[in-house]
Amino acid sequence: MFQKLKQRWKVNTINLAFIIATFAIAGSLCGQSAANLVDLLVINKNISWWLVYLFVVTILWPFFILVVSVPLGQFTFFKNYLLKVGLSITGKQIKTIKVAIFASGAGSNAKKIIDHFRNNPLVTIELVVYNKPNVGVLRVAANEKIACLLINKKIFEEEGSYVRELHDFNISFIVLAGFLWKIPLPLIKAYPNRIINIHPALLPKYGGKGMYGRFIHEAVLDGKEKESGITIHYVDEFYDHGNIILQVNCPVEENDTAATLAGKVHQLEHHHYPKVIEDLLKNLK
């Protein structure tokens, strides 16, 4: 049973334990509180009492679930869970936004994004697009049972940019997460203001062709910069050039190396990128 719940909710054993604990604690508190409230109405403990009790429990239960979920670290799960339940009760059809992640490497940002939207009933990470065989992001996608698409550079740049394939997956939004190829114009036209990228530096400095990975951090250090950070921006036909959505800074210390600076920047990426994506998808038309 527990294995089926883990698969259904796409959570690990620890999170499943906290979810079950949230249900148990919130249920107990809700039941006792509802009973106390109904007793204040001085209703004889007959069918009327139980009907009022069930009504009060139904009203209070979502509140207790959310309150208890906060200290147990399950607020996001239960917020999305209650939203899904509410949509099911009202009979409203859930229309999900299908997202494609483009990646060229290990997929750490892709993993954070997938985790963030894991139980969101309104957003589905539908496809991982990659451009190198055997990259780490494939393992991330395989573990999550997400479809993958290996793209060819010539076809990507010259013969249609895989727009048809993306439409076949009903993709509405594209997220670049460590994807190193420049996005061609046909794809940009097919997804206007629906392709975003995260760059591990403060644009417009240290952007452009060849500015990726350790090369960026080494350039920042060579430039004697006092701060670095991340830039989340819309994608246009030029490298690292589209309108900026968010920039977040981090200090560059005298003893920083490219590796330690990369660690600081990765923390900013993992913290901010999924949240920015969620905010943009909320306003997607």
How does pLDDT run across 6-56, given as a tens digit for each residue?
767 777 888 889 999 999 999 999 999 999 988 888 777 788 888 888 999
| Residue that is written with structure tokens 């009790």 in the block | 53
Q: Is the dihedral of CA 34, 37, 42, 48 positive or negative?
A: negative
d(CA 71, CA 56): 24
pLDDT of residue 251: 96
pLDDT tens digits, one per residue of 141-180: 998 889 999 999 989 988 777 999 999 999 999 999 999 9
Contacts of 6 (CB under 8 A, 6+ apart): 12, 13, 16
Is a pLDDT exceeding 70 seen at residue 257?
Answer: yes
Residues above pLDDT 90, as percent of the chain: 65
The β-bridge partners of 246 are 232
Active site residue 241: no
pLDDT of residue 219: 95
Domain spans in the chain, listed from the N-terminal domain onward: 2-90, 97-282
More confident: 253 or 82? 253
Catalytic one of 116, 167, 199, 217:
199
CATH of 97-282, one of 1.10.260.40, 3.40.718.10, 3.40.50.170, 3.40.30.10: 3.40.50.170
Contact between 23 and 68 under an 8 Å Cβ cutoff? The reply is: no
pLDDT of residue 91: 64
Mean of the per-residue pLDDT values of the chain: 90
* The length of the chain, given as a count of residues: 285
> Which tokens go with 217?
């951090």
Is a pLDDT exceeding 80 seen at residue 227?
Answer: yes
Give the phi and the psi of residue 69 in degrees, each rounded to 5: -65, -25
Average pLDDT of the segment spanning 225-254:
95
The β-bridge partners of 123 are 97
Contact between 233 and 244 under an 8 Å Cβ cutoff? The reply is: yes
